[in-house]
Structure formats: C-alpha cells, structure tokens
Amino acid sequence: MPDIDAIFHRTKNVTIYPLTAERFLIAALLQDEVHDVHAEVEIVYPSLEIVAARSEVRNGPFTEVCNLTQPNMQRLVGMRVGRGFTQHARAAVGGGGGCHRVSELIVEIAQAAYQLHFVQFFRSLPAEARQAEDDPVRRRRAVLESIPGMRNTCFSYQEDNEALIATKATPLRLRGQTLPRRALP
C-alpha cells in the first residue's frame, strides 16, 4: 500500500503533577492546525474532588472570544470525578455557552484523574513487588481490592471474567517513558 498524507492531525496530552501528597495538578492540551487549547484542574486524592480549574485558548477560530468561556471552569470546582461526572462537566464547560474543545479536555482530565488510583496503588508497592514478574490474575485481584470502583467498569474488570484473565492475559509490559517537568508559579 502506498504512503498517504494526512489532511488533519490532532494531539491531546494529559500530565499529572504532584503538588502535595494529596493534591495533584492535572494539565491537558489539545493541538491541531487551528487549536491550541489548555485546561488544568487541581484535584484532591483520593476523593478526586476538583478544588481549582482553569483553561486558556491560546489559538482558536476566534481566540479572544473563545477565551470568554474561561469563567465556566469555576463550575467544576467542588465536583468529584466518578460516575456521571462527564455529563455534568460537559454541561458546565461545553455547549452553546462554552467551548467544545475545553469540554473534550475535561473528559481527558477526568480519565487521568481516575488513573491516579492506579498510579498511587502501584507507587505504594515495595520496589521488589513492582519489579517482580507480573501475574495478571493476582494484579487484577489486588487492583479490585484496592480500587473497588473499578469492578464492572470494563470488560477486563467484569466480575465474571477472572477465568478469561487467567487463560488469556499476558504479563503487563510497562512502557518506558520520560516524564515531563514543569515549573510552578
């Protein structure tokens, strides 16, 4: 098959930074040919309550006008990431009075916030446990015990699928990555 050039490309990036042991900054950005949109929330762990939120359209179809929607971010303060959050958050920052791209980023931020449960779980394990050969069934059980809210949230964490994990899952392979650094104001 011949090479083909894309006519559109969009990237989204989400990063979690620890501010304190219980407070985290989750920053997200969306970039394409037209958009350069940034959103971030400060969240308290483990409740996943949003305590601060802000956004900035650095470039957009009508950059200065789009930025008039930034005050909508304050509607997120006090919300907790969990079931039903996406619908409420999109209503708060998106729609006719908001910015669709910012609402996209809030969904990405919420998914990252929930991932914080996994990050904290694995960080809490002793180094020898983190470096040991992975056992998918044991890992799944430990996650469900530590993060009960994961139960029945996806196919792999369905209660009825432990036998499938035992017969089909392979050990987890962690991808090496360089984590970004950021100066705080």
Per-residue pLDDT of 112-171, as tens digits, reads 999 998 899 888 889 888 888 999 999 999 999 988 888 998 999 999 999 999 999 999
Instruction: Identify whether the C-beta of residue 34 lies closer than 8 Å to the C-beta of residue 59.
Output: yes
CB atoms near residue 138 (< 10 Å) = 10
Domain boundaries, the chain: 11-116, 125-168
Instruction: Work out the average pLDDT over 93-110.
Output: 97
- Residue 175, H or E segment: none
| Cβ-based neighbours of 40, under 8 Å, separated by 6 or more | 25, 26, 27, 28, 53, 54, 55, 109
The band of 1, judged by pLDDT with boundaries at 50, 70 and 90, is confident
Q: What pLDDT shows up at residue 57? A: 97
Q: In this predicted model, what pLDDT tens digit does every residue of 46-60 receive, in sequence order?
A: 999 999 999 999 999
Rounded CA-CA distance 13/121 in Å is: 22
Fold of the domain built from segment(s) 11-116: Enolase-like; domain 1 (3.30.390)
Give 147: exposed, middle or buried? Use CB within 10 Å, 0-12, 13-18, 19+.
Answer: middle
Q: In this predicted model, what pLDDT tens digit does every residue of 14-39 receive, in sequence order?
A: 999 999 999 999 999 999 999 999 99
CA distances from 136 to 56, 91, 142, 164, 166 (A): 41, 38, 10, 11, 7
